[in-house]
């Protein structure tokens, strides 16, 4: 799929290094004429003995079990992604993924979204975790006028802390100059419970207007930021209203882990890390912080779309093919409802990569049914490889190292040969 801030069609692999190369973005790794996947009657012959898998594992990982006190924050944040409205759902033109798009593991993380003071306020009120997603309209040049949205859901231990955080951040924005000027308090008629501020600034693309909106919603604080050229101020207000109208009912569906206080003073059973047993089939990251809490996760279609280079396509394809849980680690693994669905995922993502200018690259030795593509970018040479096995699609990616990507997808192929097709 491609990753946010991204590159081509997959997730965002190594957070700082390769923005999209990871495997969560839709369409990662294909050509105009994708090859038949493993297991089909027309599939080329795989030479297992010839596969170079490097030091990567070639068997599924042990089952992960339930979350622990060490990783519950990351797991809850990852689960929250599926219940965080994606920018393209607010405005279909918001398809260019940006940062910050990530799990928020503490109130301090709000500092990179709103500002350090806001992060301190959220931390003071014991924010538990959150998820933030960001996107802009596509423009030919970075200096061209564009519209952007940041949408975040922040969970607190109780409604009082969520509401107090909103009030104090609003006060901070309207009384303290953080270098961008003091914001002006505003109102949006259809959002009487939302605290709103606006600010006009100059930029290389011309003057812009930005709107901050803070909406307490039970234990949650919904934060939406919209920016547009000054002449499109009405768009920012309508966009904020649309975001809140979508996010409020969606977060009500989130099966959040109850706090000890909410559970009568005892800890509730933690959620399962690997929903539907899909993460065991992805190659794990060696660096636990490689994606800053966003990997080693099972995401649904919306969760995958947040960090995709083509969010609407990713969401549509994964939804239509019944790929309800998708694994994100060193590699990405999708599992469709049936074999035809897996082929559809691979074909749609491959065609999308071709449309982005990726060209065919050699398949790894011994694995002729893997589809690989490459493209030279300002970050270096991006490489994606994809392989299909029954209901599963495995995806590997990297930057400037085709041998490593070949080893990843070769190891991924051997793991998928052992995957449960009937789960």
- pLDDT tens for 163-172 read 999 999 999 9
Angle at the Cα of 318 (from 313 to 323), degrees rounded to 5?
A: 170
Residues 6 or more apart whose CB falls under 8 angstroms from that of 286 comprise 330
Of 313, 312, 318, 321, nearest to 298 (Cα)? 318
Neighbours of 347 (CB within 10 A): 18
Of 90, 5, 18, nearest to 308 (Cα)? 5
How far is Cα 232 from Cα 89, in angstroms, rounded to an integer? 19
pTM for this predicted structure: 0.88
How far is Cα 74 from Cα 297, in angstroms, rounded to an integer? 9
List, for the chain, all residue ranges whose pLDDT scores fall below the cut of 50.
1-41
How far is Cα 239 from Cα 226, in angstroms, rounded to an integer? 7
How far is Cα 187 from Cα 247, in angstroms, rounded to an integer? 19
The string of pLDDT tens digits covering residues 29-38 is 333 333 334 4
pLDDT of residue 180: 79
List domains and CATH numbers for the chain.
Answer: 48-65+272-416 (no CATH), 87-251 (3.40.1000)
């Amino acid at each position: 799929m491609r990753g946010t801030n991204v590159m081509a069609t997959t997730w965002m692999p190594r957070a700082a290094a390769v923005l999209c190369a990871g495997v969560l973005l839709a369409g990662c790794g294909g050509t105009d004429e994708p090859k038949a996947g493993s297991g089909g009657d027309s599939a080329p012959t795989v030479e297992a003995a010839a596969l170079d898998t490097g030091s990567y594992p070639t068997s599924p990982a042990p089952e992960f079990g339930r979350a622990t006190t060490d990783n519950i924050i990351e797991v809850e944040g990852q689960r929250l992604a599926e219940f965080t409205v994606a920018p393209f759902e607010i405005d279909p033109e918001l398809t260019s993924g940006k940062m910050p798009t990530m799990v928020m593991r503490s109130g301090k993380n709000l500092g990179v979204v709103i500002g350090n003071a806001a992060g301190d306020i959220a931390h003071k009120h014991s924010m538990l975790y959150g998820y933030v997603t960001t996107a802009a309209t596509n423009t030919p040049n970075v200096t061209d006028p564009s519209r952007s949205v940041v949408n975040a859901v922040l969970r607190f231990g109780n409604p009082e802390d969520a509401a107090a955080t909103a009030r104090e951040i609003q006060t901070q924005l309207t009384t303290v100059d953080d270098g961008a000027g003091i914001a002006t308090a505003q109102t949006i008629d259809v959002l009487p419970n939302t605290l709103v501020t606006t600010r006009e600034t100059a930029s290389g693309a011309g003057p812009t207007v930005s709107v901050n909106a803070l909406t307490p919603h039970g234990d949650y604080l919904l934060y939406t930021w919209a920016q547009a050229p000054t002449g499109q101020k009405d768009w920012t207000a309508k966009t904020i209203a649309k975001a809140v109208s979508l996010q409020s009912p969606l977060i009500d569906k989130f099966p959040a882990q109850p706090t000890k206080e909410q559970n009568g003073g005892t800890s509730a059973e933690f959620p399962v890390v690997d929903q539907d047993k899909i993460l065991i089939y992805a190659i794990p990251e060696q660096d636990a912080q490689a994606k800053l809490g966003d990997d080693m996760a099972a995401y649904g279609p919306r969760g995958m779309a947040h960090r995709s280079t083509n969010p609407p396509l990713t969401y549509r394809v994964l939804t239509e093919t019944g790929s309800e849980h998708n694994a994100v680690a060193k590699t990405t693994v999708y599992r469709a409802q049936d074999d035809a669905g897996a082929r559809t995922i691979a074909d749609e993502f491959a065609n999308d990569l071709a449309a982005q200018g990726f060209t065919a690259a050699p398949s790894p030795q011994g694995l002729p049914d893997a589809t690989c593509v490459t493209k030279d970018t300002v970050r270096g040479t991006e490489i994606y490889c994809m392989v299909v096995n029954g209901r599963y699609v495995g995806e590997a990616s990297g930057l400037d190292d085709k041998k490593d990507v070949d080893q990843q997808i070769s190891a991924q192929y051997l793991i998928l040969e052992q995957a449960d097709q009937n789960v």
